[in-house]
Amino acid sequence: MPIESRPRKPVVNALAHAGWHPQARHISSPNSDARPPGIRVVLLVIHNISLPPGRISGPAIEQLFTNRLDADAHPYFRGIAALRVSAHFLIRRNGELLQFVGCSERAWHAGVSTWRGRPQCNDFSIGIEVEGTDTRPYTSRQYTRLARLTRALVAAFPDIAGVAGHDEIAPGRKTDPGRSFDWRRLVHESGVPPSMREL
């Protein structure tokens, strides 16, 4: 059955109850833990990633998020191989969806961050990595997948009140998803209410 005609309700139910997207390829990351008691998901954070920087495709992202990155495989990897980071989702250039952490858990994606005066965004957010760079246009398949994922997450977690870039919650420290990311397109395709995303 084509993705376009798959019913949305089972996806929403799976996300709300188990925290795992049934259409994603699941690769469990050890870089996660429990959210603080009583904390609800209220924010989606959009990132970009390419490893090494500027190189698209390859296994390095998955290896980084699962603590298997070979520090000797590239000079850049020597400075990041020991990092313990993750994200809930990764959207590849071809639109493939990968999930590393269940949505009910806390992924280690935001670092030092603040949203609407509230610090420690990892506690209350879901992190979505989009494979790419700040300056290279993202693909139509990525926007389509991201829009569907955004709709499903907003439906599964009704307390979500915003969608922000990593650069917005960590200004001066992070620049992603960068000027190449088309926020208007995401809002249009996902149907996110204007109150959730200031353009």
What is the identity of the amino acid at 80? I
Cα–Cα distance, 73 to 81 (Å, whole number): 10
Pairing of strands 118-119, 114-115: antiparallel
d(C-alpha 157, C-alpha 90), whole Å: 19
Q: Of 62, 96, 105, 129, which one is the catalytic site residue? A: 129
Query: Is there a contact between 29 and 91 (Cβ–Cβ < 8 Å)?
Result: no
Rounded to whole angstroms, how far apart are CA atoms 31 and 66?
7
Catalytic annotation present for 131: no
Torsion of the alpha carbons at 13, 185, 91 and 19, rounded to the nearest 10: -20
Q: Cite the active site residues.
A: 129
